[in-house]
Amino acid sequence: MSRKDEDAAGIGEVSEKIEELVLASQSLPDITAAIQELTNLATTRKGHLDSFPAPDHQARILLC
């Protein structure tokens, strides 16, 4: 394989990786929104759970 062919193959691989990154980045807003929603839910639920006494120290650690 000539150097030109090797360069072309390398460029093809780089292009594929760039395409993968672009496709992955398109879902980042959805992922960010899902993380925010789960964080809000966890915060809300943690507030509710803190109002109940834990049966023992271990249960309290697992909730935090």
Cα atoms in the Cβ-side hemisphere of radius 13 Å centred on 63: 18
Of 29-33, 48-52, 59-63, least confident by mean pLDDT is: 59-63
Read off the pTM. Answer: 0.46
Query: What are the residue boundaries of the structural domains of the chain, listed by start?
Result: 3-63
pLDDT of residue 52: 55
pLDDT of residue 42: 87
Kindly indicate the confidence band of residue 64, based on its pLDDT and cuts at 50, 70 and 90. very low
pLDDT for 4-22, tens place per residue?
777 777 888 888 999 999 9
Given a contact cutoff of 8 angstroms between Cβ atoms, the answer to whether 49 and 63 are in contact is yes
